[in-house]
Homo-oligomer: A and B are copies of this chain.
Amino acid sequence: MDEKDTDRLEAFSDGVFAVAITLLVLDIRISTVDPSGKILDNLGLWSALLGQRSTLFAFVTSFLTVGIMWLNHHRVFKHVERTDTGLLLLNLLLLFLIVFVPVPTALLGGSLGEPYEQAAAVLYSGTFFLIACSFNLLWRYASYHNRLIGKDIDQRTVAAISRQYSFGPLFYFTAFALAWISAPASTILNFMFALFFALPGPPLRRLPQ
């Protein structure tokens, strides 16, 4: 029954991730399919697509970042073996922030070079800072005294994963602070962090039995 618990939490989360990751394709679809007769030749189509570059950029970016978050959700729940109400609520908080990601991403995509790019970058990096905090909270709640993870998982492994996750809020807070100074620099930093969190974490070590 314990295992069934995580199964259903993961299935529900996968559904929410699947919707969140595809949300921004709606923007491209609606806008390019309905060109109201403005496209006159082949070149016209290419330049129409080029005119949509900020929407395309937002779609690519949100797909990549939400995808990497799924990767990390997957990694965390490879360790978690049981659930309780606290974990379900913390997971809902995380999913809420992830479903919100397309909003600041679309805003950022349309803002670069605009007079409001700083506010958009602050909102964007602020969202990712909250997500990093939320991931940390979830992991620390589950792993505290091996509460919801395998009883036989080595405490040193737990500590190594905790250490790696604790970089998240630190990293994203830097990007958040930088956003107040330079929007492009903060955005680049955010992407570098996303790629960093795509890398595999420390291996899981189980106690000899």
Between A and B, 23 residue pairs with Cβ closer than 8 Å are A8-B14, A8-B77, A10-B11, A12-B17, A12-B74, A14-B15, A15-B15, A16-B22, A18-B19, A19-B22, A23-B25, A23-B29, A25-B103, A27-B33, A29-B106, A32-B103, A32-B107, A33-B106, A39-B114, A39-B116, A43-B119, A45-B111, A84-B200
Residues of A near any B CB (own CB < 8 A): 1, 4-5, 8-12, 14-29, 32-33, 35, 39-46, 49, 59-60, 63-64, 67, 70-71, 74, 77-78, 84-85, 88-89, 92, 95-96, 99-100, 102-103, 106-107, 110-111, 114-116, 118-120, 123, 198-200
Q: Are A8 and B74 in contact (CB under 8 A)?
A: yes
> Would A99 and B14 be within 8 Å (CB), given that A20-B22, A85-B199, A119-B42 are in contact?
no
Q: Which residues of chain B have C-beta atoms less than 8 A from A16's C-beta? A: 18, 21-22
Chain B nearest CB, measured from A199 CB (Å): 7
